[in-house]
Amino acid sequence: MNDPIGPVDATRVPRYGGDTTFARLPRLSDVADADALVWGVPFDTGVSYRPGARFGPNHVRQSSRLLRPYNPALDAQPFAVRQVADAGDLGVNPFSIDEAISTIETAARDLSGTRRTLVTVGGDHTIALPLLRVQHERHGPIAVLHFDAHLDTWDTYFGAPYTHGTPFRRASEEGLIDFDHSMHVGIRGPLYSRLDLDESERMGFAAVHCREFVRTPIDTIIDRIRTRLGDRPVYVSVDIDVLDPGFAPGTGTPEAGGLSSRELLEILRGLDGLNLVGADLVEVSPAYDHAEITGIAAAHVAYELLSVLPGGA
């Protein structure tokens, strides 16, 4: 492959104008091929409270205009060591969750092909299920690193099995989850019952609860995460509500007492060297955002994820 085409140069073309792609990267249609894709799945029919995550992908793109090509924290150039492109948005049916799930599954399979890594921007958390199905086809049971205030291992809402509160229960039932190597990070807030935690553990998820951040050094937490994931293929699912509402107000089911952006970004950097095979970033609901606070946090999450993909220098 030729040298990767990087972002538009902000020292020559003002960053506040022009095409809105993630980090001002080229579109997939403008490159010969890509190693990693940022693509949007604007779907929020699975939400249980505030809607609006269907507008997430374009908000994250707009909020990503200030990203620069060199990541000093990792001494990495995520857009120079691989071709990263923006694959645009998938057209999904907002009136049928079942149809949307199967559309997402087919599109993720086609788009990733044999070698492309997908960083999918949602959308609500329902979309993780079809994305995990495709990962499972490639890798078998997958080590899921799930950042979220919520367990998302609940059973049904109003009798509906496919919602943003249930993707990891369905994934576990379908055998997609690596039971010995999966983990939630950032869990907090009131639950429906004490059993919720036991059930989530039974479905294969160890947990770092948000409260643990009060007394535990972050390096200890990163060590725990790395030990749990080991050398398995890892899929990272980031629900932006893992952040405190002060750092991410623009989301559908906010819970007080969350992570700071600094903590989350530092943990993501701590994944460097692991075998990341894909990621999603969900639950950004711009109507509840202010001054792009949530959008900017989300853009940086995607940037750090791209920085720790394998194959970089």
Tokens of 208: 């770092």
* Least distance from ligand ALG to the Cβ atom of residue 168, Å: 10
List binders of ligand ALG among 132-161 (CB under 6 A): 150, 152
Q: Which of residues 238-257 bind ligand ALG (CB under 6 A)?
A: 239, 241, 252-253
Of 77, 67, 73, whose CA–CA distance to 22 is shortest?
67
- Taking the complex as a whole, the smallest distance from the CB of residue 244 to ligand ALG amounts, in Å, to 14
Write down the residue that tokens 């998938």 correspond to. Answer: 90
Coil, strand, or helix at residue 229? Answer: helix
Report the residue number, 280 or 283, with the smaller CB distance to ligand ALG: 283
Residue 170 interacting with ligand ALG (CB under 6 A): no
Q: How far is the CB of 165 from ligand ALG (least distance, A)?
A: 3
Among 150, 184, 232, 300, binds Zn ion (CB under 5 A): 150
Measured CA to CA, the distance from residue 307 to residue 311 in angstroms comes to 10
Terminal alpha carbon distance of the chain: 17
CA-CA-CA-CA torsion sign (236, 238, 243, 246): positive
Q: How far is the CB of 240 from ligand ALG (least distance, A)?
A: 9
- DSSP state for residue 30 in the 8-state scheme: G
Could you tell which of Zn ion, ligand ALG, none binds residue 49, using a CB distance below 5 to 8 A set by kind? ligand ALG
Beta bridge partners of 37: 85, 118
For Zn ion, the binding residues in 98-137 under the rule CB under 5 A are 125
Within 10 angstroms of residue 174's Cβ, the number of other Cβ atoms is 12
Residues that bind ligand ALG (CB under 6 A): 48-49, 125, 150, 152, 164-165, 239, 241, 252-253, 283
Residues that bind Zn ion (CB under 5 A): 125, 148-150, 152, 239, 241
